[in-house]
Amino acid sequence: MRKAIIFVLAGIIGLGLSMPVAAEEYPTAVISPGLDEIAYDEVEELIGQPAGPQRDPLGADWIIYDDGNPRSLWPVANLYSRVRFTPNARFRLQGIRFAPLNQQDNGSPCNVYVYRENQQNMNLTDRVFNFRYDRLPAWDPNSMANNWREIVFAENQYVTFEAGESFSIMYGPAPGGPYPGQAGSGWWNVFDGAGVGRSFRVAAVNNEPVLVHANWLANGDGDFLIRANGSYMGGFVDLGVEEVFNGDPNRLTTGTWMMYPNTPQRFKAQIINYGDNVDMYIVNFDALNSDNQATRIAEVVVERRIARGDTVVIECPENWSVRTTGNYRIFAEVQAPDDSNADNNIAGVDQIVFDPRNEPDAWLGYVDNELEGGSNWNEQSGWAATFYHPGVDTALQVAGFRVGVTPSRAQVYQLEMALYLLDVAGLRFNLIWGGNVPTSGQDGDQWVEVPDLPDTLFFRAGEAIIACYHYRNEVAIQNDNTAPIAGTNRHMPWAMLTTGDDGSRFGPNWTGDFAIQIQAPISDRPSPGAWLRTEPDTLLDFGWNLETNQDYIRELLFISYGADSVYITRTTISQAMADYFSVDPMTFGLGSLDTQVVRVTFHSPVQNSYSTSFLIRNTSRNIPSKILRVFAATLPNRVIEHSRPGAPSEWSLAQNHPNPFNPTTTVDFAMLKAGAADISIYDMAGRLIKEAYNGHLSAGFHSLEIDASDLPAGVYMYKLTADGFSSAKKMVLMK
């Protein structure tokens, strides 16, 4: 009977949390096709390696379909682990790396084979390389680098494969054996949590693998940790998407998994170049709903070089938001001319969209409509899902908690379940509820729900709920291992966790999205202390092309969502803008959960654009003074926003065209992020002649037409100032 075991290599870090050994910590565990390998002269001597000719270093290129993190294993005897490799250019195979798990450093042998394939039916044909370990070294729990087995071919053993010609590497047969930590001998095939359809479990007859493809079993649970090493003999183009996220790429764990409807999100894709230099590529951002219907968010054409081995973050130029609640997945796909490896071209990120006001009983979780399997574990362990507050002003109550499980037999099991409150910034967590909940007494898939949760469980902005199921019996938790998996995203907060049986440690888990769900309606309890927000929260935009000598009124809503009162003591407007903007009232008090409408009036007797900020002060110690940007213009907007698609990698100001000109010319510029922008014209002595543009723009490529019909012929400077960036260029007006 097949039984899956999931494991984590954990090291203790601060604040009582544990993490698996990071891929970056072992020197050759995460290598991508086309990246130069390092430290080849330090390749370990293999136990049982036969004497022979001097072995060369490994080649420069790798073909890899896993990410280097061992996540699950198959303790099943008489199986070979096989990965199918397809080089995308002429490839010379020079070595192999694989990672079995051996508990006892025992005498169980291991065969390693390389086969050519029949390209039509995938049957194995010629065996072109073989190697035998008389025994495998024991697994080193402290260093993943020590657990990789490497075989370096002699020069007379190199094998060449043509572009598109698939070949197979396999090792086995696995003898099986005891679970990790138990006595006995045996080793197992280790695999990665998410797969790309390249791995198979191959039965053995008389210790030899069955060669007919029809007798293999696809390993849908993940990709085996087997890599092909060598050198590409010709051109090799391969861009890949490493990750999609919605946070700050320079700060880890800043993204958002959970959001309210109509909340704009800006997504980013981290692109990596595994092969030769690429000068132009396209990144498409798409949203997939729970019915597997895709909607294009944006297409980004990138016309700048990404060199071999480099990574770059591409920002989607358009925000994404939806009115309909549900589970969504945001994908990014990279396309490059002659890209010959599509396996790594797509990655994605989960998004939970929920509305606690209108759907308080909705179950929140990371699984899609399909649960692909269950996962057993050793005793003293468990699984957890983290639900992050979406960051709005309301506290959310934990009104429901359930897990999807599959008991091994038809009997009543007591499931140990727990809820922890997590301080996201400090990574501090506290148990707020725990108890035992019985299964239905039936076998087969079922949801087990906590019947009566106390009404005192709630979480606020900056907090999260860790919902945990501790394994203590033969009840496997169900999981969804369809990518993207919520726990795999390194730029997002941890969503899927593994844990000890007492909640004393948590570490990220990448084996799948567990069937763990909560209900999170709005709580009627105000957050302790004084809290304040405004709608809009950052920019009060009156717009362009307003009429002169007319009053325009916008409402600014102040919302108190804390338990204590807030007093607005002063609203400051710069003296230069006081003639155009007024605020009523400028001072007021707000009790707990109160709101106050403030009227902001704009009036201008002349044509101009106005960009200013209001400074709003209050008496609360834990609420900083608020700065609200304000913009209004009695001029038309002469900037063409997003004049060409794509997301810029830097601020830039281009040379005007045509140049010389009479009387109009166009200036192209790039905004790396949204904000105020000013383009002004100066004479050669540095005196301000004319403000060509002053307003707020989104991130992207823009164009401004400058009309200089009111200026005399001559040489001028035009200057872009935006968010600390400043650049100036000359232009020539001829009349």
For residues 623 and 644, state if they share a domain.
no
Count Cβ atoms below 10 Å from residue 579 Cβ, excluding itself: 11
Q: Are residues 481 and 609 in the same domain?
A: no
pLDDT in tens, 230-288: 888 877 788 999 889 998 766 555 788 999 988 888 999 999 988 888 999 999 999 99
605 and 703 part of one domain: no
State the DSSP string of 79-98.
EEEEEEE--SS-EEEEEEEE
pLDDT score at 182: 63
Torsion of CA 306, 68, 327, 401, to 10 degrees: -150
Lowest mean pLDDT among 39-43, 384-388, 571-575: 39-43
Q: And the tokens for 166?
A: 């698939």
Task: Tell me how far apart the alpha carbons of residues 284 and 357 are, in angstroms, rounded to a whole number.
Answer: 33
* pLDDT higher than 60, residue 88: yes
| Structural domain ending residue among the three candidates 484, 519, 554 | 519
β 281-288/652-653 pair status: unpaired
Last residue of a domain, one of 353, 380, 401: 353
Question: Which has the higher per-residue pLDDT, 106 or 307?
Answer: 307
Task: Fill in the amino acid letter for 614.
Answer: F
Instruction: Answer yes or no: is pLDDT of 40 > 60.
Output: no
Q: Do 513 and 658 fall into the same domain?
A: no
Q: pLDDT class for 104, splitting at 50, 70, 90?
A: low
Query: What pLDDT, on the 0 to 100 scale, is given for residue 190?
Result: 83
Nearest-angstrom CA–CA distance, 552 and 230: 69
Whether 473 is in a domain gets the answer yes
Say which DSSP state 403 is in.
E
Residues facing 470 on adjacent strands: 382, 416
Average pLDDT estimate for 347-369: 89
Instruction: Examine residue 131 and state whether it is found in any structural domain, yes or no.
Output: yes
Higher pLDDT, 503 or 388: 388
Q: Is residue 329 assigned to a domain?
A: yes
CA atoms of 516 and 447, how far apart (whole Å): 9
Domain that holds residue 566: 532-633
Compute the average pLDDT of residues 18-25: 26
Q: Is residue 323 part of a domain?
A: yes
Chosen domain end from 303, 330, 353: 353
Q: What is the pLDDT of residue 378?
A: 54
310, two tokens: 């480099």
Q: What is the pLDDT of residue 11?
A: 24
Is the CB of residue 695 less than 8 Å from the CB of residue 657?
no
pLDDT tens digits, 413-430: 999 999 999 888 777 888
How many domains in the chain? 5
**Three-state SS at 144:** helix
Residue 227 neighbours by CB under 8 Å, 6+ apart: 31, 62, 63, 64, 66, 96, 97, 98
Q: Residue 7 — pLDDT band, cuts 50, 70, 90? A: very low
Task: Identify whether the C-beta of residue 29 lies closer than 8 Å to the C-beta of residue 190.
Answer: no
Could you tell me the pLDDT band of residue 579, with boundaries at 50, 70 and 90? Answer: very high
Distances in Å between the alpha carbon of 501 and those of 19, 381, 447, 451, 474?
A: 16, 5, 21, 22, 15
Domain contains 415: yes
Residue 23, pLDDT > 70, answer no
| Within-domain flag for 524 | no
3-state secondary structure string, 613-624? EEEEEECCCCCC
pLDDT tens per residue, range 294-331: 899 999 999 889 988 788 999 998 889 888 899 999 99
Same domain, yes or no: 613 and 662 = no
Q: Are 402 and 510 members of one domain?
A: yes
| C-alpha closest to that of 104 among 184, 29, 168, 33 | 184
Mean predicted lDDT score pLDDT of the chain = 82
Asked if the structure places residue 90 within a domain, the reply is yes
- 470 vs 403: CA distance, rounded Å: 11
Segment 180-214, tens digit of pLDDT? 556 667 788 888 766 667 889 898 998 899 999 98
For residue 305, being part of any structural domain is answered with yes
Q: How would you label 529-541 residue by residue, b for 16+ Cβ within 10 Å and e otherwise?
A: ebbbebeeeeebe
**Locate tokens 């606690």: which residue?**
356
Question: Are 500 and 549 found together in one domain?
Answer: no
Instruction: Indicate whether 501 pLDDT > 70.
Output: no
pTM (global) more than 0.85 = no
Do residue 74 and residue 220 come from a single domain?
Answer: yes
Please give, one letter per residue, the 3-state secondary structure of 96-108: EEECCEECCCCCC
At 42 the three-state DSSP class reads helix
Q: Rounded CA gap, 304 and 314, in Å?
A: 12
Q: How far apart are CA 425 and CA 15, in angstroms?
A: 12
- For residues 502 and 367, state if they share a domain: yes
Q: Running DSSP on this structure, what letter comes out for residue 486?
A: G
Same domain, 54 and 171: yes
**The tokens of 556 are what?**
């600014």
Mean predicted confidence (pLDDT) in 373-394: 76
Across residues 524-528, what is the average pLDDT?
A: 73
CA separation for the pair 284, 333 (Å, rounded)? 5
Collapsed DSSP state (helix, strand, coil) of residue 97:
strand
How is residue 695 written in tokens? 């307003």
How far apart are alpha carbons 357 and 362 in whole angstroms? 10
Given a cut of 80, is residue 105 above it in pLDDT? Answer: no
The whole-number pLDDT of residue 184 equals: 64
Q: What is the CATH number of the domain that holds 618?
A: 2.60.40.10
In this structure, the answer to whether residues 60 and 98 fall within a common structural domain is yes
For residues 543 and 470, membership in a common domain is answered with no
